[in-house]
Amino acid sequence: MSQHDASQDQPQWDIETMLVHSGRSKRSANKSGGIPNIQPIHASTTYLHESIEDLDQAFNGTTVDGEPAFVYARQGNPNATGFEESMARVEKGVGAVACGSGMAAIHIALLAAGLTTGAKIVASQDLYGQTITLIRKLFTTIGAQLILTDLSAPTAVDVIRDEEPDIVYVETVSNPLVKVVNLDAISAVAHEIDAITIVDSTFSTPYLLRPIEHGCDLVVHSATKYIGGHGDSTGGIVISATNVLLDQLRAYQSLTGAMLSPFEAHLLQRGLRTLPLRIERQCQNALQVALFLQSHPAVERVYYPGLVDHPQHELIEQQSSHKLYGGLLAFDLKEQSREAVFRFMNRLKLCISATSLGDVFTLVSYPPIASHRNQNAVELKDMGINPGCIRVSVGIEQCDDIIRDLAQALAE
């Protein structure tokens, strides 16, 4: 445990208080008269130690007292460690490993879970497109087997039991159609067959959902999204439920050079402090936007788990904290064509037509040219992604302004 997380001392604190105080120093003063409340950015590739004995000990990753110890930046830095400790604490894991991007985090999670020649992975068919591409390019090419199926369907448990995979991989909420996965059911059947469950919880964040509390083994985030929240930092993190997996994650992070830089870690740690406020506002705005779109004549269908007619509305009510349903939604234009979507996107004035999500600004994207660019028309059809499908990551702006902008872009 580092000196840079005041929240670590206070197990009774609520998650909101823990997040506000994450990464803040817990000692009020030292011999030189004071230490910064906020952890400084440690821009150094190497770390000095009192003696060669201390350096020798530091190579193990901790001091003799169990404090984090640093030797060389590829093996970790104090800012990334602070961020890892904050995330592990709020996600209820034994530890976490921070990476330079969400994709790097997914890569080391798959390696740590044992995806290799002869191993089988069952994954949601609607995973983030790049995750599917990563599994295909790096793992199925060396003889791993990938089974893609709809893990939000009631048959998910039977499919996992029949396939007997080594790994089950899901996203809490799918992209872009926001299907919700039953984590209790999935992790229970995975444990029955000794499979490791990896959950990409990017869209839920620990404020809405903590997969380890639902029996899952590894939790992955693209911290680039809601965790950072301001569109200015790229990072990823894997939180582990067990020390065995944590050791594997640390080894693969260092070997693949997947570490998070001190500056990005500083920004992501800062993002955590306002996460609950941002998420609450984004979720409230998203529900209003979903209701507006549902009543609009140019819109065929709205996908948002907060709507009572969403197939997993009840599940998300049980699974998610605070009766909030997320900041992400999708909708189909009545006119199901790329041209109609491009026309709509080009008319937007406030909402930003860009590919990321989870930022303070409302971001609108067209999955077939962005997150699902590597999927062909047949695969998109199988996933239920129509040519008129538009994804909205709702921001924290005044909601009436977001709705006014969408309305003018949808107008004939």
Please report how close the Cβ of residue 200 comes to ligand PLP at its closest, in angstroms.
5
171 belongs to the binding site for ligand PLP (CB under 6 A): yes
Closer to ligand PLP at the Cβ: 8 or 175?
Answer: 175
Q: Which of 200, 217, 332, 359 binds ligand PLP (CB under 6 A)?
A: 200
Contact between 265 and 272 under an 8 Å Cβ cutoff? The reply is: no
Can residue 202 be called a binding residue for ligand PLP (CB under 6 A)? yes
Please provide the distance, in angstroms rounded to a whole number, between the alpha carbons at the two ends of the chain: 58
Question: Can you spell out the DSSP letters for 62-109?
Answer: B-TTS-B--SBGGG--HHHHHHHHHHHHHHT-SEEEEESSHHHHHHHH
- Show contacts with ligand PLP in window 99-118 (CB under 6 A): 101-103
Torsion of the alpha carbons at 368, 373, 374 and 376, rounded to the nearest 10? 30
* Angle between helices 262-273 and 78-91 in degrees, nearest 10: 30
* Interface positions, 120-139, toward ligand PLP (CB under 6 A): 128
Nearer to ligand PLP, 128 or 139 (CB): 128
Q: Which of 222, 269, 285, 320 binds ligand PLP (CB under 6 A)?
A: 222
- For ligand PLP, give the closer residue by CB, 71 or 132: 132
Size of the site for ligand PLP (CB under 6 A): 13
Query: How far is the C-alpha of 137 from the C-alpha of 116, rounded, in Å?
Result: 12
In the sheet that holds 352-353, the strands lie side by side as: 299-303, 328-333, 389-393, 363-365, 352-353
User: What's the rounded Cα separation, in Å, for the pair 285 and 399?
Assistant: 6
Please, what is the minimum distance in Å from the beta carbon of residue 103 to ligand PLP? 4
Q: Segment contacting ligand PLP (CB under 6 A): 12-20, 96-104, 179-187, 209-217?
A: 96-104
Is 226 a binding residue for ligand PLP by CB under 6 A? The answer is no
Strands 328-333 and 352-353: unpaired
* CA pair distance 186, 190, nearest whole angstrom: 6
172 binds ligand PLP (CB under 6 A): no
Collapsing DSSP to helix, strand or coil, 219 comes out as strand
Which of 8, 77, 124, 175 forms a contact with ligand PLP (CB under 6 A)? 175
Binding mask 334-353 for ligand PLP (x = CB under 6 A): --------------------
Number of continuous H segments (helices) and E segments (strands) in the chain:
15, 12
| Per CB under 6 A, 282 contacts ligand PLP | no
Nearest approach in angstroms of CB 102 to ligand PLP is: 2
Encoded one letter per residue, x for contact with ligand PLP by CB under 6 A and - for no contact, window 25-54 reads ------------------------------
Measured from the Cβ of residue 263, the count of other Cβ atoms closer than 10 Å reads 14
The least CB distance from residue 397 to ligand PLP, in Å, is: 21
Q: Which residues bind ligand PLP (CB under 6 A)?
A: 101-103, 128, 171, 175, 200, 202, 222, 224, 234, 236, 371
